[in-house]
Structure formats: C-alpha cells, structure tokens
Chain A
C-alpha cells in the first residue's frame, strides 16, 4: 500500500502549491500580486502533466481502499485542474481591481481544486464527505470575499448556514447507512445492498432513509429544488469569478462524487431510488427554468439557469447505466466549458463597467462585438442549439435517458430547453438589439465628446481575459462539432466506473 503513495503526489503537491502561493504573497509588493495568478496556473499546469504521466492507465485502490486512482479520477482531475486554471486566469483582472488579499484568494481556489479532485477519487463515504467539506469551506470563504460588499457578506452567511445544515443531514444519512450495512467503502456497500436485494428483494427502511437523507444532503450542495433557496442569493452576492467557479466547478465536482457514489455503491438498489431522482430532476429543471424567466440580474438568471442544468444532470443519475454515465460526464464537461465562457464574458464586461444587470448589456454588440458574441454563443450553447457544445451534450444525455425507459423525462427536459431558450434570448436581444443604456451613453460622451453611439463603459478588456474567452469559445465549438476525443476519455472513465456495463 505504501509503495503506491506516490500516486497521490499531484494532490500533495497541489496542497503545497497553495501554501507556496500563500508564502510568496507575503514577500510580493501590492502592485505585483498578479504574479500569484501566473504561479498558480503554472503550478496547476505542471501538476496536470505530472498527474497524466503518473496516473495514465492505472486502476489501483490506495490508502486501504479510501481513494482510487483510475481513469475516472484522472478524467476529473484533468477537468478540475484545467477549470481551476481558467478560473484563476479569468479572475486575475477582477481580483486586482475589486478584491483585497489576492494571495489568499488564489490559495483558496487551489484548495477547492484539491478538494474537487479528491471528491472524484474517493471511494469511501467519510473520505468523500471530508473532501466535500473542504470544498464547501473553500467556497464559504470565497463567496464572502468581497469584504466591503454587504451583499457578498450576506451571501456568505447564508451559504455557511445552509451548508452546515445540509452537511448535518448528509452526515446523518451516512450514519444511518453505516448502521444498516456496517461498512463505508463503496464496494462493500454495494455488496451489502446487493445481498439485501437478493434476500428480500428490497432494502431495509433504515437503509432507505439513509439513502434518502444522503440524496437530500447532496441535493442542497448541488442546489436541486426544493433545496435550492440559498443558490440565487449566494450567486448574486458572491464576487463574479467565485460565482463562475461555484456554478461550474462545485456542480461538476458534486456530480463526480454523486456519480461514483450511486454508480459504485447504490447501483444494486436503483429501482428504489430511480423514481426519486427522476422526480427530483423533473422538479429541479422545471422550477429552475421557469423562475429564471423573471430575473433581471444576469447573475441571478444564471443561478436559476444552473439550477435548471442541475436538473438535466440529475437525469443522468436517474438513468444510471454505462451509457447514462458517459452522457452525464459529457454533459458535465460541456456545461462547465460553456458556463465558464458566459461568466468570463460577463467578468470582462464587469471589469469595464462594474455592472451586471441584464439591461446594462444594451449595445454591447456594437461596442464590444467579441464579448457580446462570446456571451451569445455561450447562451445558445446552454439552451442546446447546435454547432455548440450544448446541442451535442443534450442530445447524448436525453438519448441515454430515453434508452433507460424514461422518454417522458427526456421529453420534459426538451421542453425545459425550450423555456430556457426564451430567457437566454432576452439577454441576446439586450446585447444585439437594444440601444446602450443611458449611463453608458453618458460615459461614452464624457470620454469621447461628439460620439453618436454609446459604448458601455470605457476602454477595452485586457488581452488576458480576451484570450481566455477565445479559448473557451473554441472549446464550446469543439465539443459541439467534434466530441469524439473527449468521448474516448469519457468511455475509459465510464468503464472504470461501471466495469460490468
């Protein structure tokens, strides 16, 4: 066992990287703190290369069966390291302009990435729980990072309270489950549940309640309806890059955990919880998408839209099979890239203007065509239109769901995509059709007397954020038109997850 410890090197080094960033922070003068972003990203890139070399084609249980190094862990490690890098690069300008203590900010983001990668590799309930808590704590801090912004503080407090509450429920569910089966390792739980199913054709009530409570606890973490109340306020109050990380990273990480947990531990009793998850998915996507229509703050709109997407991703859990798992993983990747594209576009806009209402986006297509096009592409992708990732991932996922006999659910999901198209189009309309808002016209006149067309804000986005945005948009298109290479990696991960299927 000890001889394999080096396989956890990426995690150990990531923790040291975070501490190194904190240490460097002490010696850097204020105006050169942006260097920390580059140190973090370079570190993540190096660790990603190391992880790929070290963990390629491995399938080994580590630490006496607490974590597993397999294709599934590696896939998600890659996703989270890349995502962490994108978040850090995308937030560099924002942090410099709006936030204090950049050193701690980047270090906490790195800790969150560490937690996420453990969440995907954990194959034991308490390890998974601790990883989840590490991620949650990182996000509690990050959400409240706008220290002088009352909204950010409020968001942080709400998030901590609800988070602690949901952790308690989750832990209670875990203890009931442990009481029922006496083990916490996924593989052993699976054996115990399968044995119980063979004996009685069902699970004991204790086990069932434990399962349900775990689902509820995780439901809070992913903001599934009716456990979503914290999400819109938290999204709105948190600093923009944190909102981006929260909606892309934390969702994908939580689903990586859920997929492994349900796929490797709870699969034998799928008949017991399938309908539960299916109903949860149906409610989540419908409420998320319908309520999103009424939003006028872009972040709040994206919060509700991400609730809608959580509903879609729950479909993958309800239709858990090797096909369903593949589809869900593809969806997670496509969703993460697309969400980041929209958010980085919004960050670029916010950096110039300090505004985030949908009505503020008027005239953006005239003044900043690239940002407007990127946001529009991201939104079209989220609504599932082709040429972009959203179409391909939705087609794959909904087909998988229908193949498992849930055509009604797939149909409902498609109608939800239609609803989502409406509110995404209102944003596109604002950018492309409506004129610039009054404040923008005034500011444009102040800076450039005599100009006819008003420009939102003044100046242009930095090369850094434009570059990040460009890469993300290319990613959205790439997944949309040529998902083949990505699917190869996902198939490997899926066969590591569900060897029988």
Chain B
C-alpha cells in the first residue's frame, strides 16, 4: 500500500500516457477495440483519481503521496517529484471525471479514431502532470504537453462556424488557441527562469537554500528572502498574465470561445472543464506560493480584471446565437469568479475559487456534452433555429438545464456553494467590486433562462419531429456529471475539507492577510 501511495500521483500521468502509447499499435481500421480500450483506460484512471482523493488526509494537510527522483544533476537540479495537496487533489479528481465523460462522449468519433484517442490520452496525461508535479520544470513541461495535442485535435476533428457574413474555421480556432496559450507559456517561462537565476544568485551570495526548480525549495528560498520585493513586483505579472491567458483572463480571453466552439465535444469538455483550470491553478501554485509579496501588490489588478471577466463574459454570452459560443462566453464569466475569488486572499474567497474551479469544470463539461448530443442530432447550434427540443430530447435537455441552473447558482447545486463563498470573500475585501460581480452573476440567470426558453422549451418546430434522445452511453456520461453537481451541491463538506487544508497552507504564506 505504501508503495502504491508513493507512486499513485505518477500513475495518473502514466495510465493515460501508457494507454496512448499502446493505442498507437492498434490496427487503425478496427475502431471498436480502440474505443473499448480507451474507455477501460479512462475508467481505470477515474478510479485511480477517486482513490487518490480519498487517500488525501485533510487533517494533516500539506503535500501527501509524495515521491521524488533526480532527473538532472547540477547545475539545473531538476527533480521529477510529485505529490498531492489540498488544492491539487480536487483538480485531479475533476480531471478524472471529465476525461472519463469525454471518452464516453467520443464514441461517435469515426474519422481517424485511433489518432483522436492517442492525442486525447496525451493531452489528459499532460493535464494530470501539471496537477501532480512539485517541480517547476516539470510543471512547465506538462503544461506545454497539455497544449500540444490541442492543435490537431481541434484542427482535424473540430467544426467550423458560419456567421453568415464571415466564417470562423476550425483551423483558425486551433491556430489562435495554440498561439495564445504558447504566448502565455513564454511569459511563464521567462518568469520561471528569472526565479531560478534569482535563487542561484541568492545561494551563491551565501543565502540559505538550494537553487533548484523544486517548488518547495523555492518556497523556502522565498521565505528566506531570496526574491526581493521589487523582483516579486516585476515578475508576479508574468505568472498572472501568462497563466491568466489559459484561465481566460480578460483581455486575453478571445482564444477561448473560438477554440472551444471549434473543438470536438470531448476536447471542449476537457479544455473548458479542466485546461482553463490549469491557468488558475498555475497562478495559485506558482505565482502566489513563490511570490506572495508580489501577489499581494497585484491582487487589486487581478480582482478588477476578474470583475471585467464576469461582466464582459456575461454580456457577450447574452448576445450570442450559437449555443457553444454562449457556453464559451459563460466560461469566461465563470472564470472571472475564480479569479476574483483567488484575489481576495481571504480563506472563504480562495476556498470558494477552488471549489468553483471544480464545480465549473463539471458544469461546463456537462454543457458541452449536451450541446454535443444536440448538435449531432440537429446539425445546428443556432438558438433561433432550434425550438421546443425538450419534447423530443427530454433527458438531454433536462441535463442541459441542470448545468444551466448550476451555472446561475441555484441552491442545491455545486455552483451555489462556490459562488456564495466567493461573494462573501469579495464583500469582505472589496465591497464595490463585489456588487458588480453579483450583477454579472445575475446576468447569467438572464441568458441561461432565455436560452432554455428559446431553444428547448416552447412549441416544437415541425422540422425536429424526427429527433430522438441521445445514445445511452452519452446520457450515461452526462448523468454522471449531473450526479457530481448535485452531490457537491448538497454535501460539499468532503470536498471543502480538502480544499480548506490546501487554502490554509497557501494563505499561511501571506502574513498580511
């Protein structure tokens, strides 16, 4: 058991990556064995993430299930070290759930099935990698590894959107997404190297500590004063903006709706559901942990940007006709909630933000899953063309409605718990912005309810008479997500205990807060 404990986080990388490698050797014409194998691998990974989450002892806190291997010697001192803390444990669980649902939703992929699942598995392995490693080099390594497969996944299996006057092609979406995210990673990279240089200068100048890329060693150096206040002020924005691009931070969010809309269903689910969380996670794990003073100085900017995110995303979502664009912009809006929650530096706000990351991940995955089912049946995502679908696709539509209710913060669903925590945190720290944020959340109610009314309820358009509900496997995937939303909504305690353990470790680094 101890052996298993010490490698369990590593297995989350190894399982999908190994499955991806094995899938390469499957014959390409036989799609059913490929799908079955991918589903089994995903189910196993999900089981593993549940085990890891339940193994995490929140009373103890800190990093658990740790292990470390030397990867490179002097002068870089890179360790392949991993472990789970209160913030990454929910993220690992989220990734497991969403990737399993994503694989189930991908049973309808018929074109180059093998390549699709290979790339999908590598993307998931990259995401797990970011959440479980404790070394900046590998964090960055997996961060880029998660982005790399997006380009072919969107470009080959995605769909273009015709706006009448112009066409947003999938190639455009794929290229935009890849370049934006890599541009963000360049900023992160510069800051990581600057951190290392500052650390090695500090150690060379007689400071106590070791110049490595290890998050803990750098954290110790940070406590010992290796990073001067000016240094922190200068380089925190690199992390904030660099990771913020992936988190959909305004004004660098434009890749996100275009990318999510162009992507195939499962990729949208994982991308909006999990990958955007990598950005927020990076800000917390790297920026705030290593540069707390810089973070404190920049938090007012982050909370302002986050508020813009909420309002801008909500208003943009209101004016969209394409179902996926509505969800894409609502993701921007909800990620804004995460950003302002983080920026409060208040235990409730930050805890709410991490819960919101989890809850939004599940909710968006559910959104994209149901829209994927609808699009496959109707071949349109135009709200004005759809109408009365509830009469023919009752289950799918009701699942969509659950996601919508979670997104507008209906009590009893996970979104409510997260939002209320964030709002309390914000009200305590920044009252006026909190009011604006609540307005943004109210707009969510407007566009979600309007969408439900227009596209799904009301009289059935005769041309949709022939429709039937989604396939059992797809509805199964969606109902799993619904279950999680409801479960966390009525009993958030198991999740919150773990999150609070992580958040209190993090906030202990902020003497002022």
Which of A's residues lie within 8 Å of B, judged by CB? 323, 365-366, 369, 380, 385-387, 391, 395-396, 398-399, 402-403, 407, 410-411, 414-415, 417-418, 421-422, 425, 428-429, 432-433, 483-484, 487
Which partner residue on chain B sits nearest A405 by CB separation? Answer: B197
CB pair A433–B182 under 8 Å, yes or no, is no
CB distance from B80 to the nearest CB of A (A): 10
22 A-B pairs with C-beta separation under 8 A: A369-B115, A385-B144, A386-B142, A386-B148, A387-B145, A395-B137, A395-B140, A399-B76, A402-B193, A402-B196, A403-B196, A403-B197, A410-B193, A411-B186, A411-B190, A418-B182, A421-B178, A422-B175, A422-B179, A425-B175, A428-B151, A483-B72
Residues 163-212 of B contacting A (Cβ, < 8 Å): 170-171, 174-175, 178-179, 182-183, 186, 189-190, 193-194, 196-197, 200
Chain A residues, CB < 8 A from B62:
none
CB pair A418–B148 under 8 Å, yes or no, is no
CB pair B152–A428 under 8 Å, yes or no, is yes
Residues 89-132 of B contacting A (Cβ, < 8 Å): 112, 115, 122
Determine the distance from Cα of A432 to Cα of B178 in the docked complex, in whole angstroms: 15
Q: For chain B, which range describes its interface: under 10, 10 to 19, 20 to 34, or 35 or more residues?
A: 35 or more
Chain B residues, CB < 8 A from A380:
148
Which partner residue on chain B sits nearest A415 by CB separation? Answer: B186
CB pair A391–B194 under 8 Å, yes or no, is no
Which partner residue on chain B sits nearest A384 by CB separation? Answer: B144
Determine the distance from Cα of A365 to Cα of B145 in the docked complex, in whole angstroms: 21
CB of B372 within 8 A of chain A? no
CB of B155 within 8 A of chain A? yes
Determine the distance from Cα of A165 to Cα of B71 in the docked complex, in whole angstroms: 46
CB pair B151–A418 under 8 Å, yes or no, is no
Which partner residue on chain A sits nearest B158 by CB separation? Answer: A433
CB distance from A381 to the nearest CB of B (A): 11
Determine the distance from Cα of A264 to Cα of B342 in the docked complex, in whole angstroms: 52
CB pair B171–A429 under 8 Å, yes or no, is yes
CB distance from B2 to the nearest CB of A (A): 26
CB of B141 within 8 A of chain A? yes
Top 10 A-B residue pairs of the complex, sorted by shortest distance between their CB atoms: A386-B141, A433-B155, A414-B186, A402-B193, A411-B190, A386-B144, A386-B145, A402-B197, A385-B148, A432-B152
CB of B75 within 8 A of chain A? yes
CB of B156 within 8 A of chain A? yes
Which partner residue on chain A sits nearest B178 by CB separation? Answer: A425
13 further A-B contacts with Cβ under 8 Å, apart from A407-B194, A487-B72, are A323-B75, A369-B28, A386-B148, A387-B122, A399-B196, A399-B197, A410-B193, A414-B186, A428-B152, A429-B151, A429-B171, A429-B175, A484-B71
Determine the distance from Cα of A402 to Cα of B213 in the docked complex, in whole angstroms: 14
CB pair A433–B193 under 8 Å, yes or no, is no
CB pair B144–A410 under 8 Å, yes or no, is no
Chain A residues, CB < 8 A from B175:
422, 425, 429
Chain B residues, CB < 8 A from A403:
75, 196-197, 200
CB distance from B148 to the nearest CB of A (A): 5
With contact pairs A399-B193, A415-B186 given, residues A432 and B156 touching in the complex (Cβ less than 8 Å): yes
Chain B residues, CB < 8 A from A421:
178-179, 182
Chain B residues, CB < 8 A from A410:
190, 193
Which partner residue on chain B sits nearest A388 by CB separation? Answer: B148
Which partner residue on chain A sits nearest B146 by CB separation? Answer: A386
Determine the distance from Cα of A24 to Cα of B500 in the docked complex, in whole angstroms: 77
CB distance from B73 to the nearest CB of A (A): 8
Chain B residues, CB < 8 A from A365:
112, 115
Chain A residues, CB < 8 A from B156:
432-433
CB distance from B216 to the nearest CB of A (A): 19
